[in-house]
Structure 1
């Protein structure tokens, strides 16, 4: 028999004689049965890769438990990271979904109508700075104009938009909180 065949035969024996014990070990330490299967598969993958380092048969199960323990630790750390990420995503989604989007329809329509009445360059400059969060100098680069020209045009465009939407909360046409995202401070 070649050494490759002996190597495979030994691994098959190690796998067959230790799989049930490792699956039980992992199953008692995870919440989902599928996770236990993944842990055992990863454990045997490590064993296969390190088959030259496998201890004698009477010590192999303890060695496999040690490998499975480290695989479980990685699994739990990954689960904790996934939970934290999931919580951050839930908070962001809740923040976005918590308000009734239907209540904003009239304001959005008023803003869009006012934006449509602006000249195309002014409309694009306002949308780049307000909706895309660009600083005026960054919007200037996008539009191919100087930073000074962008700041001047932006100031005039905002004034014109305020006229079109309305500034007085008690006058029809006023739209509160729709375009009130804080424009980023420009770094100089």
Structure 2
């Protein structure tokens, strides 16, 4: 029974792969999308093999499956694109509000932006995300001791950047020292 099913599917696939490929390729520009639709079309045919008509009518059945698969793919892409745009707008608004520099203290943002990406990430995880050294170590995939050392060095570099930009001593000390509650 299973051998008959496999043989029928192989025959269907061999007879109609070219037709389905042409149908799909003429309706999508992306070869990866086309390959996905073709694969999904024949997966549906395998699952519903008993519903697939025999002879030339099978080609039209497969075209219908491919057409619906293409429509589903386009709807999904449209939903992803709309969601991405909406999330992007929300995130941009949130970031603008969170990152809006204090007009009275532009040196703080400038000093932070002047740091290397690795230093900004460490300071951000400790300060903004409120993570302790162990949690930062888990995020970065390094040891807790490595975090302690790197964080200490990043804070010193931040303090130097603040001093270069003319921040007062209290600001330098407050922003470049250990976060409240952070373990030694």
Q: What TM-score results when the alignment is normalised by the length of structure 1?
A: 0.50
Deviation at 1:93, TM superposition (A): 2.6
Aligned equivalents of 2:42, 2:17: Cα separation in 1: 9
Count, aligned residues = 108
Q: Quick one: structure 1 residues 98 and 28, their matched pair in 2 at CA, closer, same or farther if it must change by over 3 Å?
A: farther
Gaps spanning 5+ residues in structure 1: where? 108-188
Residue 51 (structure 2) aligned to one of 50, 53, 57: 53
2:7 corresponding residue in structure 1? 9
Deviations 1:25-77 (A, max 9, x none): 11222232111111111111110011111101121101100111111111111
Equivalence map 1:1-188=2 (5 Å) = 3-98=1-96, 101=99, 103-104=101-102
Aligned equivalents of 2:32, 2:104: Cα separation in 1: 49
Q: Secondary structure at the match of 1:104?
A: coil
Pair member with larger Rg:
1
Aligned equivalents of 2:22, 2:100: Cα separation in 1: 53
Structure with the higher helix share, 1 or 2? 2
RMSD of aligned Cα (Å) = 2.9
Gaps spanning 5+ residues in structure 2: where? 106-184
Q: Quick one: structure 1 residues 15 and 105, their matched pair in 2 at CA, closer, same or farther if it must change by over 3 Å?
A: farther
Aligned equivalents of 2:73, 2:63: Cα separation in 1: 15
